[in-house]
Amino acid sequence: MSTIVTPYTDHRMAEIADKVRNGVRLSLEDGVYLYETDDLLTLGQLANEVNLRKNGKKVYFIENMSLYFTNVCESHCAFCNFRKDQGEEGAYTLSGQEMIEYVEQHIHPGVREFHIVGGHNNHVPFQYYVDSLKALNERFPDVTLKAYTAAEIEFFTRISGLSTKEVLEELRKAGLKTLTGGGAEILSDQYRQKMKVDKANVDQYLDVHRTAHQLGMKTHTTMLYGAIESHEDRIRHMIQIRDLQDETGGFLVFIPLSMQPKSKNASIMRRNSAYEDLKTIAISRLMLDNFDHIKAYFINIGPQLTQVALSFGASDVHGTILKERISHAAGALTPEGLTRKELVWLIKGAGRIPVERDTFYNEIKVYE
């Protein structure tokens, strides 16, 4: 496919377009330039070209549920409004049986994945987290357990005294199949210090995923953008993820997460613009040439912008979710979940082909 660039495309953008067409990897300087250009249409066209080359018009989604065993957390990240202190009003820690009862009240036929994250609750032992997965796996053996962030895994090593490999092996025995992508935020220790991200540092985040990949696991990874980071910080984040993917090939998808304000009443000036969201998705597609999928996360950017993002490099819209809590605790204005029918409508409305998948992107059903 030949990219049609806009008439006012400058020389630098034309050079980048040539790189993209010829499979030449983009540099840090290229990525920063793409953030600085106002040529959004050419950027989107390039990202769309790459995505169509990789995935055609197929766009993927999954029937899943988001589960949160506990919101008690020792960390105090500046952007988080989900966490609570032990004993604080609204704090909770569910047992495996309590979570099973919750799932039985809300699950519906077709759910293939439990997406499980939560607080770093140091008032319970590591065995609690193992038993939580074991209980779900025994009651719902056909549902894939996608559980815990790399930051949670690092936290488990501290409360258990086990190595990263040993923690992952214990969780796998309990039914863990893959890690979620959260906890990355921006992979810059300076950023993490300023934003009070007092959990896994950059090297620890990357090492958890590296270790999981070495054990044969496929995992997910994210970038939370829209706070104090620079454009260069975002591109360096992508390059570090790209380098690890070169090394292991273990990532399934990259998920740019648009940061939400702490209040639903926050003005539009406290939110990322649609322009910035589309740019970030498109740039992710161009920088991460060794990733099959870039996700447009409707929880953060909304269903309609998600439709547009499917022409800006995204090939996945996540899933049904059912009662997402973390982004909504921070002020997201979007739905807490969508039905299968709504996701199919959303994708078809963007001129794409909906594909229901499992956790590992095996195709379950194509909605022609």
Show the tokens assigned to 277.
């969201």
**Is 229 annotated for ligand binding?**
no
Which of these, 252, 157, 169, lies nearest to 201 by C-alpha position?
A: 157
Return d(Cα 177, Cα 218) in angstroms, integer.
Answer: 8
Residue-wise burial string across 65-100, b where 16 or more C-beta atoms lie within 10 A, e elsewhere: bbbbbbbbbbbebebbbbbbeeeeeebebbebeebb
CB 281 within 8 A of CB 314: yes
**Is 247 annotated for ligand binding?**
no
By residue count, the chain amounts to 368
CB 182 within 8 A of CB 222: yes
SS (H, E, C) 213-274: HHCCCCEEEEEEECCCCCHHHHHHHHHHHHHHHHHHCCEEEEEEEECCCCCCCCCHHHCCCH
Conformation bin of residue 90: beta by default, left when phi > 0, alpha when psi is -120 to 50: left
Show the tokens assigned to 258.
């648009």
HSE toward the beta carbon, residue 298, CA cutoff 13 A: 25
Show the tokens assigned to 57.
């018009």
**Is 79 annotated for ligand binding?**
yes
Let me know the angle formed at the C-alpha of 125 by 119 and 126, rounded to the nearest 5 degrees: 75
Helix (H, G, I), strand (E, B) or coil at 91: coil
Conformation bin of residue 102: beta by default, left when phi > 0, alpha when psi is -120 to 50: alpha
**Is 276 annotated for ligand binding?**
no
**Is 360 annotated for ligand binding?**
no
Give the CA distances from residue 42 to residues 239, 352, 361, in Å, rounded to whole numbers and listed in that order.
22, 20, 29
Lookup result for tokens 């003005």: 267
Binding-site residues for [4Fe-4S] cluster sit at: 73, 77, 80
Binding-site residues for S-adenosyl-L-methionine sit at: 79, 185
Binding-site residues sit at: 73, 77, 79-80, 185
